[in-house]
């Protein structure tokens, strides 16, 4: 007769997994790092905003000064173009007013001949 040999059956053992244990020290350090990095980024952003604020203030002051200067130059140009100023300058240069004005007619077609 045939003999049957029984081989030992290999049954994998169920491995009991421990629940995920997180080291409290690791979480504390990780949270500390996150807080420090977030604080650092906040300070950088706040500093950048402050610098932009000062730059804007300087630009607005410069615009205000330029508008004031522009108004002064417009006023000065108007004064220099006034009839009284031009007559005063003309008298200062020794120019005399013209009493009678004669205009030439432009009907002559020949201006210069050879």
DSSP annotation string for 51-91? HHHHHHHHHHHHHHHHHHHHHHHHHHHHHHTSHHHHHHHHH
How confident is the model over 20-38, as pLDDT tens digits?
A: 667 888 889 999 999 999 9
Answer whether residue 68 is part of any domain.
Answer: yes
Half-sphere exposure of 113 (CA within 13 A, CB side): 3
Domain span at residue 80 reads: 24-88
Answer whether residue 112 is part of any domain.
Answer: no
**Average pLDDT estimate for 47-56:** 94
For residue 5, pLDDT over 80 is answered with: no
**Least confident among 12-21, 23-32, 37-46:** 12-21
Answer whether residue 2 is part of any domain.
Answer: no
Answer whether residue 4 is part of any domain.
Answer: no
Answer whether residue 106 is part of any domain.
Answer: no
How many domains is the chain partitioned into structurally? 1
- The more confidently predicted of residues 94 and 12 is 94
Answer whether residue 78 is part of any domain.
Answer: yes
Answer whether residue 73 is part of any domain.
Answer: yes
């Amino acid at each position: 007769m045939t003999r049957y040999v029984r081989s030992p059956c290999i049954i994998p053992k169920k491995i009991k997994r421990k629940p995920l244990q997180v080291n409290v020290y690791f979480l504390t350090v990780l949270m500390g790092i996150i807080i420090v990095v977030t604080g650092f980024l906040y300070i950088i952003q706040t500093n950048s905003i402050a610098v932009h604020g000062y730059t804007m203030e300087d630009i607005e002051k410069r615009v205000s000064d330029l508008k004031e200067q522009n108004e002064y130059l417009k006023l000065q140009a108007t004064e220099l173009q006034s009839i009284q100023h031009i007559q005063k300058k003309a008298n200062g240069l020794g120019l005399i007013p013209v009493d009678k004005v004669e205009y030439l007619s432009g009907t002559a077609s020949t201006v210069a001949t050879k």
